[in-house]
Structure 1
């Protein structure tokens, strides 16, 4: 069924995008395609195979329509909003987008980005495996190192490389759950660990060691919303991270990684944008308290890993470091896209 919006609803949505009413955080739902139905989505295993070309076309179409919809909401063009909502529904809504994304990221297509994250976390993973194995073989009473607590935002599958027995424990969320094991939740409204009502507690603890935003930030339809999402990630980390145990051969400690953010974006958003470059992204992340650890760029994707340090953020503010990043052309040239991240004092 095609979803339509009356004038009052369109007006409310437009006010949210314009920042009127000053909501605490902007919901991601305003930027997502309309749902195909209200029922629980069918798992991807029941769908026929989709070609790579069709997958790319479907994802690209969703993103183009989504950008046009965001622009229409900014100008409160009700008729265009309804028309674009209809077009998004006609393409299959969020369920079709999720299916295309899942197929595109499947192991058979070589697209499971979590494998890159696991590779970068190898020292933490190996330390936990060694500790668990040592405790078992010596029958000591020493408790093994706590498994890595991972929050995967925009999760499409529960069977990716993040599942490592006794080493990781993964919490998965998305705006619409595509199957059991994925909570239906909006990250921008998701309870933070220090929620006074205790809603941010998960498995008896607060905070996460790793946050994964794989092809999520680019789905946020406006630049200010992307900045707000990046800033909000800093509220989800556990503040206590003891050093990784020494390796069995007594070698030096590996690089301190935790807590960290795994960020994956389409490569053109950083390498062919008028308003964003890898260097500019580092500056934005520095201002939030992040330190760049790793980067990998392929023809399609840009992967990066960032360690969060609350003290770095405090020192940045104390020293008067830049905290507002407006839309400014830094990479001029024809044929470039307009992808941008804006950080303001209200982000």
Structure 2
């Protein structure tokens, strides 16, 4: 997760395409057309959006997006044009962001990042104590990269304790960089573009409902693999947030299977919280664990395989292969 300023021991650091030869293909290639960037989603300008409407909009958006990815894979130009038009008619990514933002408002269950802050409470309290006891000795803040950020005012903002960098495919306001995680500069990029605030890497990586937005299974595997490149230490922590049905009602994925996939990348499961709609999980990354996993002959590729058969289940899947 994080390295405490007064100890040499490391706690956990935090961490959510059609098949291609590119290992980090831009996610934008699988995304719907965007609305004009001149307008920004605002929950205050849409106070009357009902819970049912936001759920329907998000569900429709995901269904059309999945069909669009399949049409692009098949090079079906007429269907591509039709689906892009339908996505634009429903408001595109801007409306999807609006629905998601409204869903995280105080009247709809609140800020999901509060769960992450709760899981980091021990580290946060330690840093607060050190800051109070040694006010003349600056304590390095927790460096957090939030992927899929919708707000700059969530619970991750803790004065003198955290510093947060926020990115999303389409910025919904000042303080959120418009960037694609799959092409976002990594800390060790030779051109130095991955350095932020004069330092390399992050202590915490948060994937907020972005893994499920990737339109195909291989792209999701590639995203999980890429997370390991962003930590400032060999041992770090990552948080993922997924719709609950992607893990609990899928033919191809279960919490146990996800744990095995993550273990093959060097992650250890720390915490889980599942609500009716969402599945939160916290993972510790340790590069040495991956080395041992491979040395011991652990599985490193995961194909699409039915592991949870039954009627009424969805087809959410994560594929991890050498090309991911």
Question: Normalising to structure 2: TM-score of the pair?
Answer: 0.92
Asked whether 1:259 is paired with 2:250, we answer no
Q: Deviations over 1:161-215 (max 9, x none)?
A: 0000011000000001000000000000000000101100000100000000011
Q: Sort the Cα spacing of 1:149 and 1:274 in 2 relative to 1 into closer, same or farther, 3 A.
A: same
How far off is 1:40 after superposition? Answer: 5.0
| Paired residues of 1:43 and 1:179 also in contact (CA < 8 A) | no
Q: List aligned pairs for 1:68-217, cutoff 5 A.
A: 68-136=67-135, 141=136, 143-217=137-211
Q: List aligned pairs for 1:242-321, cutoff 5 A.
A: 259-321=236-298
How far off is 1:288 after superposition? Answer: 0.2
Matched residue, 2:34: 35
Matched residue, 2:66: 67
Matched residue, 1:245: none
Residue 242 of structure 2 aligns to a residue in which SS? strand
Matched residue, 1:221: 215
Q: Deviations over 1:306-345 (max 9, x none)?
A: 0000111111122221100000000000000000000001
| Paired residues of 1:155 and 1:172 also in contact (CA < 8 A) | yes
| Paired residues of 1:268 and 1:300 also in contact (CA < 8 A) | yes
Matched residue, 2:3: none
Larger Cα-atom Rg? 1
How far off is 1:42 after superposition? Answer: 4.7
How far off is 1:71 after superposition? Answer: 1.3
In the TM superposition, structure 1's runs of 4+ consecutive aligned residues that sit over 6 Å from their partners are none
- Identify the range of structure 1 (309-318 vs 28-37) with the bigger mean alpha-carbon deviation: 28-37
- Report how many aligned residue pairs link the two structures: 308
Matched residue, 1:337: 314
Question: Normalising to structure 1: TM-score of the pair?
Answer: 0.86
For 1:330 and 1:284, locate their aligned partners in 2 and report how far apart those are by CA, in whole Å: 14
| Paired residues of 2:264 and 2:298 also in contact (CA < 8 A) | yes
| Paired residues of 2:19 and 2:218 also in contact (CA < 8 A) | no
Matched residue, 2:230: 236
Q: Deviations over 1:245-300 (max 9, x none)?
A: xxxxxxxxxxxxx6111001111000000000000000000000000000011111
For 2:310 and 2:148, locate their aligned partners in 1 and report how far apart those are by CA, in whole Å: 33
Residue 339 of structure 1 aligns to a residue in which SS? coil
For 1:36 and 1:298, locate their aligned partners in 2 and report how far apart those are by CA, in whole Å: 32
Matched residue, 1:10: none
Residue ranges of structure 2 left out of the alignment (5+ in a row): 1-16
- Identify the range of structure 1 (27-36 vs 333-342) with the bigger mean alpha-carbon deviation: 27-36
Residue ranges of structure 1 left out of the alignment (5+ in a row): 1-15, 241-257
Q: Sort the Cα spacing of 1:111 and 1:68 in 2 relative to 1 into closer, same or farther, 3 A.
A: farther
Task: Let me know the Cα RMSD of the aligned residues.
Answer: 1.3
